[in-house]
Amino acid sequence: MDDITSLARERFGINAVRPFQYLVIKRILEEDKKENPHPGMIVTLPTGSGKSLCFMLPTLVVSGLIIIVYPLLALMSDQVRRFEEAKIPVLCLKGGQSKKERMEILSDLANVRALVTNAETLAHPRVLSALLHIPISMIVIDEAHTIERWGSSFRPALRTLSSLIAHLRPRQTLCFTATADNAVISLLNTLFFTGKPAHLVRGSSDRENIAYHSYPTLSKSRAITTLLHNPSTRPAIVFAPTRALTERLARYCRISNPTLDARHYHAGLSKDARHMIESWYFHHPDGVLFATNAYGMGMDKKDIRTVIHHSPPSDALAFLQESGRAGRDGLPARSIVLINEADRSSNLFPIFNQHKQCYRSLLLSLMDEELEHCFGCGVCLNHRILLREGERPILRTIFFNPLKYTPYTLALTLQKKNARVLYSGSLSTWRIREIEEAVRTLVQEGRILQPPFLKGKMILLPQIDKRGRDR
């Protein structure tokens, strides 16, 4: 048994180091021994592959401080917990600490092996000044893809990391991410490794235990509650594009199914509230979390069975990042994209709005990767939804009763049984709001016409025949 495997077993309780982990750790240790080490590495390994071990284990061997830079507080807290569990001395510098607290931390830097921080705190003059007097072995930038996504406006400090690193002069710089296309890798080389390109260790972005599915729907709130009603989907995380939507969906989910324990999570919550929700979700065997993309990324819960995307993410990188929250325990998990005509502006709409080509293959091609074998997607598993729930009764009712209903009166008719009205009561399990949402979707798709002069009354467009089907 070699030293790397022995340390992994002794300090981290890991019986076998994965090949990619071994490769990265071995190179770090080899470069640390050189008088003029290579500037560093860019490491892309899928979520759940054990990236943290790649820089945690070397802290036990190399001389000098290791600085780990994270974009999110939740990720920082989780990493500190991991160091403490391995009994490795660690400190954490972040926003919100008092001047006294920060000075105490800075004065104790020489007595620890690792410092966990973020870009904004690292750029503070007092922090930089203190670190200049400490030998620094490595600076690790985790979730490095966020520099390309957030560094231009949302988190400009991320872009200044290159000048900070040049100032601190670590022996090695390491960039870790679960997903990175060629554009991201090129940017990281430009920012951090201008003299000599970084050594690239690139694993596939694919997670074999996650199956990718498309869920065409007229009502996304209805689809979410329907999916979450099945206990096998939980614990689950639902990604929504805005803070307000996470709150609204979580509240609606609790009303629709009072047995579900659902909460929302975003940057607008107080520090204490976020910490409480993080702890609740981490320990809950059946919880449902509604989160924005940025904050959901910080959730390192191993047993998430389902990721639901309220809307298709902006690109393949974002989709794989969100999907990667699921199945980090290695057990089967699902990533489900809710989709309708309102999502046409997304670059991923053409992928999830069809049922002929493998979702996994198309996604990986956007990441400049090739697929050897599909381990599960809606197309390859033949899990297709050809007729959206509620579509036929809504269209048929309007066809046989044109100019009679507004969205609200139609919703009432379809929800409550009336012997004199065809199809009445056919959506009795739906809530009024869900039927109205479905009608609005059909209007947006051009399937239903709602001219202003008709005072809210609706008429079916000509492409629908008497049976309520496309001609």
Instruction: Specify the pLDDT at position 206.
Output: 82
pLDDT bin (cut points 50, 70, 90) of residue 152 is low
Instruction: Specify the pLDDT at position 470.
Output: 46
What DSSP assignment string belongs to 362-378?
HHHHHTT---S----BT
User: pLDDT digit string (tens) for 404-461?
Assistant: 888 999 999 999 988 777 888 999 999 999 999 999 999 988 889 887 776 778 887 7
User: pLDDT digit string (tens) for 98-150?
Assistant: 889 999 999 999 899 999 999 889 888 899 999 998 999 999 999 888 877 66
Domains of the chain, residue spans: 3-202, 210-366, 391-460
Q: Do domains 3-202 and 210-366 have the same CATH topology?
A: yes
The residue-averaged pLDDT of 55-62 equals 93
Helix axes 271-283, 73-85, angle to 10 degrees: 50
Instruction: Specify the pLDDT at position 467.
Output: 45
Element (DSSP H or E) covering residue 139:
strand 136-141
Q: Which residues, including other chains, have CB under 8 Å from residue 154's CB and lie 6 or more apart?
A: none
Residue 236 and residue 254 in contact, taking contact as beta carbons nearer than 8 Å: no
Q: What is the CATH architecture assignment of 3-202?
A: 3-Layer(aba) Sandwich (3.40)
Q: Over pLDDT 70: what percentage of the chain?
A: 94
Q: Which two tokens stand for residue 347?
A: 């670059």
End-to-end alpha carbon distance in the chain: 69
User: pLDDT digit string (tens) for 240-292?
Assistant: 999 999 999 999 999 999 999 999 998 888 888 988 998 899 899 999 999 98
- Mean pLDDT over all residues of the chain? 87
Who wins on pLDDT, 352 or 329? 352
> Is 383 a residue whose pLDDT tops 90?
no
Instruction: Specify the pLDDT at position 422.
Output: 84
> Is 463 a residue whose pLDDT tops 90?
no
Q: Over pLDDT 90: what percentage of the chain?
A: 48
Candidates 3.40.640.10, 3.40.50.261, 3.40.50.300, 1.10.1060.10; CATH matching 210-366: 3.40.50.300
> Is 91 a residue whose pLDDT tops 90?
yes
In angstroms, the CA 402 to CA 405 distance is: 7
Q: Which two tokens stand for residue 46?
A: 């899928």
Residue-level length of the chain: 471
Per-residue H/E/C for 242-271: CHHHHHHHHHHHHHHCCCCCEEEECCCCCH
Instruction: Specify the pLDDT at position 297.
Output: 67
Instruction: Specify the pLDDT at position 465.
Output: 47
Element (DSSP H or E) covering residue 186:
helix 182-192
